[in-house]
Structure 1
Amino acid sequence: MSTYEDPWSIDQVSPSDVLTSDKSRPWWVFGQLWYWTLTAMIGVSGSLLSRWWRGYDLQPRVNGDASARQELADALPHVIWGTSTDGKCEFLNDRYTETFGINRSNAIKEQTWVDPIHPADLEKMQSAWRSAIGSGNSYYSALARMRMNDGSYRWMESIGRSVRSLKTGDTLKWFGSLVDVQNQVEDRETIARLQFDLQAISDEWERKSGESDARLRAMFEPREVGWIDYDVNSVRSLSESLRTQGVTDVGDHLEKHPTDILALSRGLPFLDASQHIVSLLGFESFESMVARRVRSSHTAGDVEIAILTALVHGSATTCGIAKLPDAGGVIKVFPFTVCILETGVAKVLFLDASVSEAHAEAAGKARVELARVNRVAAASALSASLIHQISQPITAISLDVATATRLIASGESKSPAVGKVMDRLRWNTQRLADVGTSTRETLRSAPQTLETVDIADLALRSYRLLLDPLGTDQESLKIVANDDLPAVVADPVALQQVLSALLQNSLDAHNLTGEPPDISVTILSGSRSREITVAVADRGPGIDREHITLVFDPFFSTKTNRLGFGLTVCQSVVEGFGGQLTLTNRPGGGALAQFTIPLR
């Protein structure tokens, strides 16, 4: 942590600091500016003042010489002082009185000319004076706070030079001036404080950056994400050249210009890498991975091309699929993302897809098994209910048939008993029909939670739930919808059940053909219509003509591993909304499931 020190504290700055300070400090410039300004000023009037002081010392005060010298000194813009070699003040100009509010004649007579000096600075000024005399120096400089005529204190610098005898070279007098340097002091102090604040901010940023780097390493090292840092500064000139040439397809350009491939590969050195990616590629250390890349620097990989493409197009981020050779030369595939920082570092994150694929495969199997168990459980519960409800009508029908058979065999086919048996048969048959109707109504009249539903979003989410999360067909669903669709109020759970079942049927149909999914969901609403129409279409094999009228019957299915309740339940749910569900074949191949939802 930086410690602030007042650069102009009387306890820290010597009177000669302004000229002897380290040139590496910014405020040294200020000192030089006003120093040379004063030097120039003194140089201009130096000969006059020297002649004046020599005349003062050697000639009698006759013919108005004293008043002429005083007039000359009073014309200068600063306080002018003159002393003997023992430090006794012998001269002050009118600027002294104007500046400090003390009569200059009294100050000379009573030797009180030092009274404006701040008591804390007086000893240092006198020490600087004694040092100049003791060393035989012809130059003297000291800094002090001086009390102005309004009682305030301002920083002033006392600058003096010795006047020597032309014959003996001995010092005869000292003369000099007082210069107001308050503004320079304040500027210097402001710069020092800014330097202190900047250093504090820099220290804090460095501390937080170190903590962030440690957190990032801790976050990525043990998991499925590895990273490599690239230095991109050396390829910026190449990217500028390609941009100037109007290159848009960097990969195609590199194929035609092998020299640029070499420049790209050599111009993107590794800076650092996570231990996870180093180990994943089979290297013992980061250094061995760097050495292997140097040996193969004649080629450019997917990551290098992606970074150069981003630089050419002025983008800070990009992503793609990289094929990286491991230590044994085996190609491994990694999804990656790139972030190019202003510091010239490209941070590339790699996803260990092998672990994710294993997890996805296990999760997919678990979802399939869970769906199968749910279907079996639902079918078992429904079957138990149906068996319980139809067992009595079936038993009664069986007895009635046996009775009618005996009566007919005995030749009593026209007896009243046969008519009664036939009536019982019709009644029990109706009971069976009522059981089916009751079961269907039970499915239809389940309690619903109504809320506003975005059908397009619900269809997309339902579709993605049916797919492998790492599969390439996540975005294969086409959704077409009017921009001005009215709000749909429905039970989202029940509506998702319908969409999921219809989409699953379309996916199963495409699995039979071996072709990539070509599935669309169209959501339309007419200008005067009071209902929404949702159509799920595919390009599978379609529905056989002999099965088209049976698809909504319970227990009917063309798939050996299904129970035949999916479309039956969908029809019940849609009718529960007050709509209708139809299933037809599409012109050109495929099936079209279409249902309506009334607007509330």
Structure 2
Amino acid sequence: MPLSTPALEKALQTHGLVNPKRRMSARHEGGILSLAALLAATVFYLDTFTDIHSALATLYVITVLLSAETLTEKGTLFLSVICGSLAIFSYLTAHGLQADLAAALRLTVALAALAITCALVIRNQRARLHLLRFNADLRSSEERYRTLFEQGRVALWERDYSDVRKMLMRLRADGIQDLRAYAREHPAFIETCIARVPTIAANAAALDLLGNVDPKVRAGDVRAIRRYIAQDDATFLELLVAIFEERRHFEGRGTVITADGTSKLVLLTVGFPQDAADFNRVVVGMFDITERETAQKALFDAQAELALASRAATIGALSASLAHELNQPLGAVVVNAQTLQRWLDRDPPDLAAVSRSAERIVRDSQRASDIIQSTRSMLGNRPPAFELVSLPDLVLETRTLLESELLRARAVLDVEVKEGTPVVRAVRIELQQVLINLITNALHAMAVTPEAERRIGVTIEATDAAGAVVRIRDTGPGLSPEVFKNLFKPFCTTKETGLGIGLAICRSMLEARGGTLTASNHPDGGALFDMTIPIEADHD
């Protein structure tokens, strides 16, 4: 007598044989289990207690098939084992241990049919479970996508590019290789493509980007969104080129028009699917970069204004530099002209002295001209005139030029040339400008020094690094820590009438040719400046 339906179901559930993920009602499931149990009992009775000589045991397969939707994999296997045991029990009851080939074959066929059916049912159950899990994952993925799409704060659009892609692929199949050239030859091409790209969906952030849009759009009629998208021909053409070339990603700048007519600049990002069938829903991301672009424009404008101010400052510094550098030769011209005037006023005029003064005027005027020419070459980016320079001769010449300043300051300039001093290749006028600046500064620094102690020592010697060094030492008070810290900075000076750019210019001149200018205090007192000059100047 078979078990009642509730008792049978309870027993199977207790052993984990009933599928908990069944999709049918409990009543329907109980009916199936009862029918399967009744069928198994009927087959067992007929096979055991009747004289029907046929493979009745194969009907147990129907029992397994009926229960397949209800039982788990373990339950199906258990039911198959029960049915197989019943078939064997029936055989033993009817035939005992006597050999009956026909009955044995019928039993074998029945057991084989049960085993095959059990295997097929279990495989089908596994496939069904895999499919259910796959569908569940797919639904979960779709829900996550919709959540991200709808609730994300990035403006997202779903657009259908399938029709446009087919058209572009036909063009490529027809031999079109340059889509940009094709678009230039067919002015209506861009507008035709735009009309073939409908908007499927837009999230809340995309609608917020557009402002107070048409109620139809808010209600979900995304077709009405077309008028808010200002399709820039160049940007849209580049997007078409990306599809034409079968790229996987496109990024560019586009424009959208808000509900109040304001244009917003957006960064457009599109990821194209690998499967052509998925071009019917392509996600387009938009990032509002209007404020960023405005800020960048303001930055560029500020940089342009700064460049103008920098050029103005450069011109001012250059003017100050020229004034500083020309002050000495022009002052010498004035002094020599006054001297010449005094020699002419004598009775009789001292023509020999007049001639010497005139020569000095020509010499100093030429120096002023050379300074201006050197500055013009620097501004015009023209190569300077390099020449072989003997540093001892240059120092002695400079001392002659500054003779009147030395006499006026009641100072002595001593020159010491060490053995092995090389000849350097340099711009002569630049080295002389540096020397004049350093010696003039030394004279100003010794203004508070007793007259008997006012000495400037110039030492010339070779260096270990294929060059020469000229050291200028004075007997002034030396450099204070405050002055030393800003010594080579432009417009830093301790003189009431000084511009403060002489040392900055000197260092720049030397460094431009591969040399250096350093300052320190001499152990025995006074300031010490070292001019290092390479033998081969930098010709760049």
TM over 0.5: no
The structure in which a higher percent of residues are helix is 2
TM-score normalised per structure 1: 0.37
TM-score normalised per structure 2: 0.40
The structure in which a higher percent of residues are strand is 1
